[in-house]
Amino acid sequence: MINKLVEKIQKMDAPVVVGLDPTMKNIPDYIIKKAIEEYGETLEAAAEAVWEYNKGIVDAIYDIVPAVKPQIAMYEQFGLEGLKAFKKTVDYCKSKDMVVIGDVKRGDIGSTSESYAIAHLGRVTVGSKRIAAFDEDFATVNPYLGTDGIKPFVDVCREEKKGIFVLVKTSNPSSGEFQDRLIDGKPLYEIVGEKVNEWGSDCMGNDYSYVGAVVGATYPEQGELLRKVMPKAYILVPGYGAQGGKGSDLAHFFNKDGLGAIVNSSRGIIAAFKQEKYAKFGAEHYAEASRQAALDMIEDINSARK
């Protein structure tokens, strides 16, 4: 999958992933109204609205954006109906040949991580069959439990040729509380970055490893250092747009080959119609606003990396 991701980024000349993070606040009213007319004020209606909204965005961007990153919390808030909308979204994006990064941020003791890895990247055994449940291409993983929380993901990745992005330096304001703490003179995020190298060293694609890292766009200096610490890890870079990250901050997240990073924007793309810049599209044309915002983002990032 890492090879497919790199190829798609190169072909589309777009190191960008759109975060499918739907909330009731961001879905246009006409979509919610229609779902409520059909299903009443229920979780089914919410899930239907989420699905309609996502489908509109995916149809508008799949030919210019290589990957999507649905964040599972946005679906879980609607319970089982929301999870069905998550799965429907994953399947639909894959049918459009998009790479799907399941933003699930899992990680636990080894035996539990194994089940998380099977759920999102692998196949579960039922009788004589092995069945893929959520079946994303990549998953985000929390490394706080150490190597035995990560290894089951790496094993499944090797078997299924899929990948993970390990949280190394997150984009949020409090990320330094633990991640910047010095241990023997080194910040914790650097130590985790070195571990990402180690975990990924024996599962390489053509040029990049199946084991990638998450480093926030809001921390460009740390991004520059981590790029050097993990030369073979693809970096998923959230924090662009709504959290303040800009293209000009991101040049050093890329390797000299112009590859090595993929930048995420969620609200900045999927709720573009709410921004003054794209207001002319109107809520009915929210998907076209998203396409325009994605095109603008691609241009902004490319001007920084080239």
Ligand X SMILES: O=C(O)c1cc(=O)[nH]c(=O)n1[C@@H]1O[C@H](COP(=O)(O)O)[C@@H](O)[C@H]1O
Contacting range for ligand X; rule: CB under 6 A; set: 38-46, 149-157, 194-202, 258-266:
258-266
Tokens of 69: 């990153």
Least distance to ligand X, CB of residue 89, Å: 14
Closest listed residue to residue 50, CA positions, set 25, 85, 76, 15? 85
Rounded Cα distance between 255 and 261, Å, is 8
One residue of 264, 281, 290, 292 binding ligand X per CB under 6 A: 264
Any residues with CB less than 8 A from the CB of 187 and at least 6 apart, and which?
179, 180, 181, 222
Closest listed residue to residue 169, CA positions, set 143, 146, 145? 143
Q: CB-wise, 205 or 212, nearer to ligand X? A: 212
One residue of 5, 6, 8, 19 binding ligand X per CB under 6 A: 19
Q: CB-wise, 113 or 170, nearer to ligand X? A: 170
From residue 67, how far is each of 78, 83, 293 by CA, in Å? 24, 20, 15
Q: Within 183-242, which residues bind ligand X (CB under 6 A)?
A: 214, 216, 238-239, 241-242
Closest listed residue to residue 46, CA positions, set 58, 56, 59, 36? 36
Strand partners, 182: 187
Least distance to ligand X, CB of residue 100, Å: 13
Least distance to ligand X, CB of residue 128, Å: 36
Least distance to ligand X, CB of residue 166, Å: 10
Residue of 105, 161, 246, 274 with catalytic role: 105
One residue of 266, 273, 290, 297 binding ligand X per CB under 6 A: 266
Q: Within 281-300, which residues bind ligand X (CB under 6 A)?
A: none
Q: Within 59-78, which residues bind ligand X (CB under 6 A)?
A: 71
Count of positions on this chain that bind ligand X (CB under 6 A): 20
Question: Taking each helix axis from N to C terminus, what angle separates 43-61 and 79-95, rounded to the nearest 10 degrees?
Answer: 20
Tokens of 250: 């991101």
Active site residue 84: no
Contacting range for ligand X; rule: CB under 6 A; set: 92-100, 114-122, 166-174, 297-305:
166-174
Q: CB-wise, 44 or 190, nearer to ligand X? A: 190
Tokens of 94: 């894959």
The Cβ of residue 142 has, within 10 Å, a number of other Cβ atoms equal to 17
Which residues form the catalytic set? 105
Residues forming the site for ligand X (CB under 6 A): 19, 21, 71, 103, 140, 170-172, 214, 216, 238-239, 241-243, 264-268
